[in-house]
Chains A and B, each alone.
Chain A
Amino acid sequence: MGEVTFAEVSKQFTLRVAGEVQHVQALDRVSFNVRDGEIVALIGPSGCGKTTALRVAMGLDAASGGRVTVDGNEVRGCGYDRGMVFQHAELLPWLNALQNVMFGLEMKGVRGAELSDTAMKYLDLVGLADSRNRRPHQLSGGMKQRVGIARALAIDPKVLLMDEPFGALDAQTRESMQTELLDIHARTKKTILFVTHDLDEAVLIADRIVVMREGRVREVIDVPLSRPRPDLGLVRGLREFSETRYRVWRLLHDAQTVQ
């Protein structure tokens, strides 16, 4: 199981701008849920609170009000039921690919043969078994992010939380990573909540899209595309794809003109 529920989650930041204290409402009573095994995309203009929502779900930031639950358990700090994939992978530069995947497992208390076997299994899952001895700077951007995904998956979380995981990659690599993520999802059946600013990516990957604006959920949109989606190039040609994309685009466009 891996069901994530946001119930009236609010988050305020206090900023000091030029000597003046400003209160920023990053999240304002955000409510939505992610069903078990589902992929949900959080999309919105920058500053809309989508990354904050993800960080609150991870437990890296505490909510000022409301609560996030995973399978009914309230999130209080980080936990092994959630795995985080960071925007720029954030691998530890002094460890090689395998050791980076092992890091999370070690923290979880896995030792001995199980440690290296499990890490190898997940490195293999992302197609990097042969690059296990490379250090991060010897990996391309796409490969780094795959290690980041393997590291998060290795602790066997119920939910994978991803913060613009492919945002820093070039278009070609991004497309192959999207296909790969769907493949990994098909094999692991993990619940995935991911933040993106890429409209195409949201529609291609997600089952549902949460459109955010100024700290609020503006709308939750169902993506009427069936699974599996092995050929994303083909999906792009479907009428359902362009219609959904246009719907989301309108919502984002309205949000920007209002601002």
Chain B
Amino acid sequence: MTEVANAERKSITHTASSAERRPWPRWAITLASIICALALWEIFGRNINPVFGSYPSAIAVAFWELARSGQLGSALYDSLRPFVIGYALAIVLGVPLGLIVGGSRAAGAALGIYVTAGYAMPLVALVPLLILWLGLGFAVKVAVIFLMSVFPICINTWAGVMAVPKTLIEVGKSFVAPNAVILRRIVLPATLPYIMAGIRLAVGRAVVGMVIAEFFTTISGLGAVIINSANNFDTATMFVPIIILMVMAIGLNWLIGWVERRIAPWQAEIAGRDRE
């Protein structure tokens, strides 16, 4: 019992010392950083020929015009449809595949090599082949996004399974749990932080896959806005979808982090990150 009392005393002194210093909240630091970056870009961007570069206020004007004409809305819709499906498919198939490759010796030996190779596969070079198989439309876009994002998810899940402490599995064994139950009740929850890290990494790859697909198949969506405005030397408009995609990736990352804190709260608590 004295240990608990000690632990509580420690946490009290911890809050007291941090209250004295009153550090800036994280969001305020991030906001200040963004404001500084935008201000610098605005100041220096104005002195550059508008074909070679742009600056925030010009991009904001271009954004407003794209949005008002309805072009942006329909481009966003065209892009997001294959994105959501390809990315969701990558999660639904990548996680179980990673669990199997990591969890079974035979599956690891038989399939692991394809996962490792697939991760490094130069997908852009395969796009023409994918077009031959799947045509120029919706399916090929889903396929490119899926192939870009499934491997980081799978590899992370796999690495997570390999990192599960042997003794935790022995706890399951000591209670005569069958392998399937050990996989579901012990390996899966222990792997969850790795799975979420893989899903996060895959966001960036899925966005890149989406733009690649729109460049090399039917030119459509946000990718089309980029290409068309670049061809017209309208650099400000070209930046609009690029920035939208970056903001979208940040938003998705935040959302995944939020989901992770909901379904795996113990992880942040163990690491001591719950105090922030």
Contact = CB atoms under 8 A, between A and B. Distances in A.
A80 interface: yes
Interface string B138-159: 0000000000000000000000
A90 B168 contact: yes
A108 B174 CA distance: 11
A172 B3 CA distance: 10
Interface in B69-85: none
A93 B181 CA distance: 17
Interface string A80-103: 101110101010111000000001
A108 B175 contact: yes
B269 A60 contact: no
A192 B269 CA distance: 35
Interface in A33-84: 58, 60, 77-80, 82-84
Choose among B3, B172, B181 the residue with the greatest number of A CB atoms under 10 Å from its CB: B3
A73 to B, nearest CB: 14
Choose among B172, B181, B264 the residue with the greatest number of A CB atoms under 10 Å from its CB: B172
Contacts, number: 65
A94 B173 contact: no
- Interface SS, B side: helix
Contacts of A90: 165, 167-168, 170-171
A140 B175 contact: no
A104 interface: yes
A104 B189 CA distance: 17
Contacts of A80: 175-176
B176 A135 contact: no
Contacts of B264: 94
A9 B185 CA distance: 33
Contact of B3 (A88, A135, A141): A141
Given A94-B264, A140-B7, A142-B3, A103 B173 contact: no
B256 interface: no
B270 A86 contact: no
B174 A78 contact: yes
A225 B175 CA distance: 34
Given A92-B186, A173-B3, A78 B173 contact: yes
Interface in A121-139: 135, 137-138
B3 A140 contact: yes
Given A94-B189, A135-B266, A140 B170 contact: no
Interface of A: 58, 60, 77-80, 82-84, 86, 88, 90, 92-94, 103-104, 107-108, 135, 137-138, 140-143, 155, 172-173
20 contacts: A60-B170, A60-B174, A77-B176, A78-B175, A82-B174, A83-B174, A86-B167, A90-B168, A92-B186, A103-B171, A104-B175, A107-B172, A135-B269, A137-B266, A137-B269, A137-B270, A140-B3, A140-B7, A141-B3, A143-B4
Which 6 residue pairs across A and B have the least CB separation, nearest first?
A140-B3, A107-B175, A84-B174, A104-B175, A94-B189, A107-B177
Interface of B: 2-4, 7, 165, 167-168, 170-177, 181, 185-186, 189-190, 192, 264, 266, 269-270
